[in-house]
Structure 1
Amino acid sequence: MAQNIYDTAEFFTEYSRLPRSVHGLDGAPEWPTLRGLVGDVKDQHILDLGCGFGWFARWAVQEGHAQTVLGIDLSENMLRRARDETQKAGIGEGIITYSCRNLEEVTLSELQYNLAYSSLALHYLPNEPLKRLLGQVFKSLVSGGKFVFSIEHPVASAPFDAFWKMGEDGRVYWPLNQYWDEGLRVTNWLAPGVRKYHRTVDTYLTYLIDAGFVLRAFKEAWEGLDLRPKLEEKGEAHRPYFLLVAVTKP
């Protein structure tokens, strides 16, 4: 059964304080790079998987001039705010639709969307439900349709003890272990007991290829990221945080 931690009070309160929760896409450093992968969405029909507060859905309509967006999320807390913000933005009813559904079980209409998008959601799904979802996304896209998504990088998700370490020489390092041991990871991120699933890069790419997708872009960093390592500091220069991927349906 999918974990709906976003509807627990402690986690939701802490999540709502994150820069990306307060400032939306402007608070997500990876957004400019994802924006480039998304491309032109004018007049498109879009699917937003794990839509959260609806930031991408509203951007797609207000700035990208998309025709319609369907946002799917498991959390009623997230969708309640998404609906409120969409109403405040004056976006007409039916242009953006929010639906409370479990991505592990969702069934999508065939040949319905030009673009599917997902931000930091797919690593919450176990292997078999993820493979099923990718099949549904492939089915739902028109020929030439695009799927753009971000996930937690497997280098970040692999360790069972996923915390920065400091050596005796004062240098910070990330403990990359258990990389090949795929499966559940329980972390204390914003609240205790958050369940995520670790997969290798190999597995992610294999699932996409098996679903029928063609790889178009694969990025481990985002625009403007300083990749010079600062040996005494934690940060992106020591290891990747996210994978940003774009695939298409032939």
Structure 2
Amino acid sequence: MDRQRLSRLAHARHPIAAPLADESVARLLERATGHAEAGRLLDLGCGEGAWLVRALAARPQWRAVGVDLDPDALTRARETATALGVVRRIGLHHVDVREFASAEPFDLVLVVGATHAFGGLLPTLAAVREQLAPGGRVLIGEGFWEREPSQAALEGLGANRDDYADLATTTDRLTTNGWTPVDGHVSSQQEWDAYEFDWTGTLAEWALDHPDDPDATAVREAADRHRTEWLHGYRGTLGFVTYLLRRD
């Protein structure tokens, strides 16, 4: 079935497409935007705009731009922004994040759970730097190895050992490339488990509630497959860190 539709269904109860609890999202956004009364925010791979609308609701003088390839997700983002009364301060673009360009730089750029679109963490930051205003900040989320991955973990993720490093090495790569972490959050096992149970459970329940839908079998199979890959593969092996970065 359509992967974008599958993702929208899976994240219906967890609109942040990463293992982050609501309180973690709120704290990271407060740290990322709290230094300025007004500013411009860019979210590359914004999905349904969960980060954007939360930031705009909390910061009345900020403006935001979201970029994503899923037109239905962008429609949902616009509907949510309208319901929260922030739609006049948000611009949404249906375009590949690698092709997006703006005439004005941004005070904060978000790329959380979407670094794969650029080919990894450092290529993402290289691209983001072109969008960043002097003194701007980057909020970026990336996976890392909590422990040496087993073959089952690699197969479950469809990953190679070199796709990630441990947390220390990941952080060292940032600092070596001229970025300074000024805050960060390592997702807990509880956050991971809540995210995965939401992801698989929402799909499974949708399939049970829509048995006559042509995609019901594919959705149920995706839920069952993902649950197995998580519980019998990468649980406790793949970590997730969200950095708040500034340039040296």
**Relative to 1, partners in 2 of residues 1:60 and 1:91: Cα closer, same or farther, differing over 3 Å?**
same
Query: How far has the Cα of 1:63 moved from its partner?
Result: 2.1
Query: How far has the Cα of 1:66 moved from its partner?
Result: 4.5
Matched, 1:200 2:191: no
Aligned residue for 1:51, secondary structure, equals: coil
Amino acid in structure 2 at the alignment position of 1:243: V
Q: Distance in 1 between matches of 2:74 and 2:136?
A: 26
| 1:39-83 deviation digits (Å, cap 9, x = unpaired) | 226422111111000111111111233520011112223212222
Contact 1:34/1:244 (CA < 8 Å) preserved in 2?
no
Greater helix content: 2
How much is the aligned-residue C-alpha RMSD, in angstroms?
4.0
1:176-195 matches, cutoff 5 A: 178-179=160-161, 182=162
Q: Distance in 2 between matches of 1:100 and 1:113?
A: 19
**Relative to 1, partners in 2 of residues 1:21 and 1:96: Cα closer, same or farther, differing over 3 Å?**
same
**Relative to 1, partners in 2 of residues 1:209 and 1:155: Cα closer, same or farther, differing over 3 Å?**
same
**Relative to 1, partners in 2 of residues 1:139 and 1:226: Cα closer, same or farther, differing over 3 Å?**
closer
Aligned pair count reads 205
Q: Distance in 1 between matches of 2:154 and 2:56?
A: 39
Select the structure with the greater relative contact order (CA < 8 A; seq sep ≥ 6). Answer: 2
Aligned-pair identity in percent equals 17
Amino acid in structure 1 at the alignment position of 2:143: E
Contact 1:46/1:113 (CA < 8 Å) preserved in 2?
yes
Query: How far has the Cα of 1:123 moved from its partner?
Result: 2.9
Matched, 1:139 2:130: yes
| 1:191-225 deviation digits (Å, cap 9, x = unpaired) | xxxxxxx2335775466346532122344334975
Contact 1:45/1:67 (CA < 8 Å) preserved in 2?
yes
Query: How far has the Cα of 1:138 moved from its partner?
Result: 2.1
**Relative to 1, partners in 2 of residues 1:223 and 1:239: Cα closer, same or farther, differing over 3 Å?**
closer
Q: Distance in 2 between matches of 1:157 and 1:124?
A: 25
**Relative to 1, partners in 2 of residues 1:222 and 1:16: Cα closer, same or farther, differing over 3 Å?**
same
Q: TM-score, normalised by structure 1?
A: 0.63
Contact 2:4/2:70 (CA < 8 Å) preserved in 1?
no
Matched, 1:118 2:120: no
Amino acid in structure 1 at the alignment position of 2:24: T
Q: Distance in 2 between matches of 1:88 and 1:48?
A: 20
Match of 1:167 in 2: none
Amino acid in structure 2 at the alignment position of 1:99: H
Match of 1:213 in 2: 179
Query: How far has the Cα of 1:137 moved from its partner?
Result: 1.9
Match of 1:53 in 2: 48
**Relative to 1, partners in 2 of residues 1:146 and 1:25: Cα closer, same or farther, differing over 3 Å?**
same
**Relative to 1, partners in 2 of residues 1:53 and 1:142: Cα closer, same or farther, differing over 3 Å?**
same
* Greater alpha carbon shift after TM alignment, 21-30 vs 9-18: 21-30
Aligned residue for 2:243, secondary structure, equals: strand
Q: Distance in 2 between matches of 1:72 and 1:156?
A: 33
Matched, 1:79 2:74: yes
Q: Distance in 2 between matches of 1:219 and 1:87?
A: 30
**Relative to 1, partners in 2 of residues 1:60 and 1:200: Cα closer, same or farther, differing over 3 Å?**
same
Q: Distance in 1 between matches of 2:97 and 2:148?
A: 20
